[in-house]
């Protein structure tokens, strides 16, 4: 592994900038088919023992932000279980191999988090396989671009809410009895919670709900010694975008509207999840961290 990522350099030119080629993919998309390939820290992320022997469950851990977090957690010393859809198996296989190469236990838990029974079994299986649970990262999400509100069908609306909010509720509810003092929950919200785009109204709605949920549940769980925080990404280069999350016209210039002039790479956000999962964040709960390329959050 190299540490070029940490060398002093102009962050505007550190990673690929638009324009990007059009690259439509079927939902949910695969990282290995993106051009350019996202950087999840496969070669660059180095750990320093911040999460030794912690046990983590990450939803959507096959690609994008979830994949970068899984890699970082493993290299910080954690055992990691990841959930993902069956169709994402090829991406997930790569993540499992990287976790194991870091000398940590990797647990693959494929299934659809829109299903309540799977969500509850997901937590149970993770706890049994890992021997406990110290960190929960609710990261998986669904997003589809629509020209207008009238183009969103009830079926599509239900899919987004089930994936982004219901699953968050079911998984967190099931996990709470297993979390001991010092444990952490980290939810992935979005800059869309604060500045929603007109083409992803249903997605933005759920992300605002995640902010509210995070702040409310943090007040309950601190009484158990469990911290709850959220991370709000701006434009990040993940399969969520070319697989319908944005139009292909927007993919060509994706990330160009933020001050940094480019999309974030998943490896650039992983250290924030590491911080919030670690004991270094012992005085941080109920917070939302914006990682937006300079846009900020309100």
Query: Which residues are catalytically annotated?
Result: 203
| pLDDT tens profile 34-62 | 999 999 999 999 999 999 999 999 999 99
Check residue 49 and give left, alpha or beta (phi > 0: left; psi -120 to 50: alpha): left
Q: Where are the domains of the chain?
A: 45-291
Average pLDDT over residues 162-178: 98
pLDDT band at residue 6 using 50, 70 and 90 as cut-offs: confident
- HSE-CB of 138 using CA atoms within 13 angstroms: 32
| pLDDT tens profile 91-145 | 999 999 999 999 999 999 999 999 999 999 999 999 999 999 999 999 999 999 9
CATH of range 45-291; options 3.40.50.720, 3.30.1330.60, 1.10.1200.10, 3.90.1300.10: 3.40.50.720
On the question of pLDDT at 19 being above 90, the answer is yes
Contact 165, 114 (CB under 8 A): no
Nearest to 229 by CA among 194, 269, 195, 186: 186
Euclidean distance between CA atoms 239 and 165, whole angstroms? 20
pLDDT at 141: 95
On the question of pLDDT at 225 being above 50, the answer is yes
Q: Count the Cβ atoms, other than its own, within 10 Å of residue 1.
A: 12
pLDDT at 244: 87
Q: Count the Cβ atoms, other than its own, within 10 Å of residue 141.
A: 28
pLDDT at 3: 61
Between helices 89-101 and 64-75, what is the axis angle to 10°? 20
Q: Count the Cβ atoms, other than its own, within 10 Å of residue 62.
A: 30
Q: Are strands 79-84 and 55-59 parallel, antiparallel or unpaired?
A: parallel
Q: Count the Cβ atoms, other than its own, within 10 Å of residue 49.
A: 10
Nearest to 243 by CA among 87, 103, 40: 87
End-to-end CA distance of the chain: 37
With a threshold of 0.75, does the pTM exceed it? yes
| pLDDT tens profile 233-267 | 999 999 989 998 899 999 999 999 999 999 999 99
**Percentage of residues in the chain with pLDDT exceeding 70?**
99
| pLDDT tens profile 55-101 | 999 999 999 999 999 999 999 999 999 999 999 999 999 999 999 99
On the question of pLDDT at 214 being above 90, the answer is yes
pLDDT at 1: 45
pLDDT at 5: 79
**CA–CA distance from 159 to each of 61, 203, 234 (Å)?**
19, 10, 22
Euclidean distance between CA atoms 185 and 203, whole angstroms? 21
pLDDT at 4: 76
- Helices (H), ranges, 84-141: 89-101, 116-130
């Amino acid at each position: 592994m190299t540490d070029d990522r940490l060398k002093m350099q102009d962050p505007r030119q550190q990673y690929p900038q638009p324009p990007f080629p059009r690259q439509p993919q079927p939902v949910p998309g695969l990282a290995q088919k993106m051009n350019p390939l996202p950087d999840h820290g496969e070669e660059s992320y180095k750990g320093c023992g911040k999460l030794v022997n912690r046990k983590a469950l990450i939803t959507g851990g096959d690609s994008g932000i979830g994949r970068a977090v899984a890699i970082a957690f493993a290299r910080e010393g954690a055992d990691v279980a990841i959930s993902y859809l069956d169709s994402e198996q090829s991406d997930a296989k790569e993540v499992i191999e990287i976790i194991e190469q870091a000398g940590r236990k990797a647990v693959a838990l494929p299934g659809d988090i829109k299903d309540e029974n799977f969500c509850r079994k997901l937590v149970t299986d993770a706890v049994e396989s890992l021997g406990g649970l110290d960190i929960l990262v609710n990261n998986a999400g669904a997003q589809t671009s629509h020209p207008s509100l009238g183009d969103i069908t009830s079926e599509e609306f239900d899919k987004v809410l089930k994936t982004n909010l219901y699953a968050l509720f079911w998984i967190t509810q099931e996990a709470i009895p297993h979390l001991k003092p010092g444990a952490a929950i980290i939810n992935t919200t979005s800059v869309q919670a604060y500045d929603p785009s007109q083409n992803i109204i249903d997605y933005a709605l759920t992300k605002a709900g995640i902010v509210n949920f995070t702040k409310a549940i943090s007040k309950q769980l601190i009484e158990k010694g469990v911290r709850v925080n959220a991370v709000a990404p701006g434009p990040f280069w993940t399969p969520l975008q070319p697989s319908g999350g944005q139009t292909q016209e927007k993919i060509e210039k994706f990330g160009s509207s933020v001050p940094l002039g480019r999309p974030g790479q998943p490896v650039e956000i992983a250290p924030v999840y590491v911080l919030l999962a670690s004991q270094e964040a012992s005085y941080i709960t109920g917070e939302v961290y914006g990682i937006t390329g300079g846009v900020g959050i309100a």
